[in-house]
Structure 1
Amino acid sequence: MDIKQNYFEFYGLPEAYELDLGQLADRHLELQKQLHPDRFAHLSDQERRMSAQYTAYLNEGYATLRSPLLRAQYLLKLRGIDTHNESSAQIDPMFLMQQMELRERVEEAPQHTDPDGELAALDQEVAQAMAELQAEFRRMIGEPSQEALDAAASAVRKMQFLDKLSREIERLEDELY
């Protein structure tokens, strides 16, 4: 094992958007047992530090590969596109308008006559839009052209908006209960 490997290699999984999450969890438990710092307690300081680094890398990799959005961002990063820190990327104006409308509905949901129903409807809309973007990403990331890679990156940028909106809906649902 080597922390110079990407997360897919580290976990012994194919470098793909579609992952068997059960296999990922099983592999995580195996590696966690192998790399747990307690197994290295009797060794030198350097070996204990290496164990801690491996464990941190293991946990970071697991969180990344387990999340569809983070996994998509990571696949793009492996191909030289960082969607985490972009501020100048162009996003479809129609999509942005839809996001503004959805955000307004989320903000107004607590005052709605049926706040639970409105939040559930919003959550469903966001989930549907996310599923469509994930399908688009899945198609595009496998294509060898730069245009396909750009389309995959565009899908991920949109997924970031929807993920944030979904978290806001969850927060409001928690506040209502």
Structure 2
Amino acid sequence: MQLVVLNSTKNYFELFDLPMSFAIDASLLAERYRALLRSAQRIRYGIDNDVDSAGNIRAVTQVEKAYRTLTDPLSRAEYLFSLYSETSAESGDYAEIRGNRGASLMEEMELRETLAEASNRPDPATAVAEILTSLAEECAALDKELHDLFADPCPSNLRAARQIVRKLQSLSRCRRDAEERRLELGIQD
């Protein structure tokens, strides 16, 4: 795999020669990422002189951004939404979308209250651990559902996937808060 000045018409999946899918082979992605970076090093140190220095820097920057995007499930989902924009994942009943956002906000507020109460329980370490376990289980279930929806990216599945991504984003914020609370309480793994 040789690094060349990247064509802006290539999407991140094409860059790594992967199928455009939510489900990706993480080891293959990492392997191709390393190959592209090795190629960049060869150019940087004058072993290959096919690409100018500025083009090499732009290409490496794009490769790194693409890799970060594809390795993070939420970023990968958002990127897929941008690629499927012509199918309008955001289209749909506005009241339904607004209602779902409100429900997610309420769930997030409830989780935050539960987290705040955990500090006051007799065994806050166990309470926070239970919350983290619950969040991890819910995220895993939603991640599986997201894989299924992206397997058939029709407009209705994309709308449903968008709602799941919003919920995962909310759960991710709650997980960060729970991790911070765990650290504040001095709880070790």
CA distance 1:104–1:3, shift in 2 (3 Å) = farther
CA distance 1:129–1:31, shift in 2 (3 Å) = same
1:62 aligns with 2:98: no
Aligned length: 171
Structure 2 alignment gaps of length 5 or more: none
The residue aligned with 1:159 is 168
CA RMSD in angstroms, aligned pairs only: 2.5
The residue aligned with 1:79 is 84
Q: Percent identity?
A: 29
Distance 1:72 1:48 in 2: 32
8 Å CA contact 1:41–1:48 kept in 2: the answer is no
The residue aligned with 1:40 is 44
> Which of 11, 15, 18 is the equivalent residue of 2:23?
18
One-letter amino acid of the counterpart of residue 25, structure 1: A
Distance 2:70 2:159 in 1: 21
1:90 aligns with 2:95: no
Structure 1 residue 111: Cα displacement: 2.9
One-letter amino acid of the counterpart of residue 153, structure 1: R
Structure 1 alignment gaps of length 5 or more: none
1:107-128 CA-partner distances (Å, limit 9, x unpaired)? 3333332222111111111112
One-letter amino acid of the counterpart of residue 90, structure 1: R
Distance 1:91 1:29 in 2: 44
Q: Choose between structure 1 and 2 for higher RCO, CA contacts under 8 A separated by at least 6 residues.
A: 2
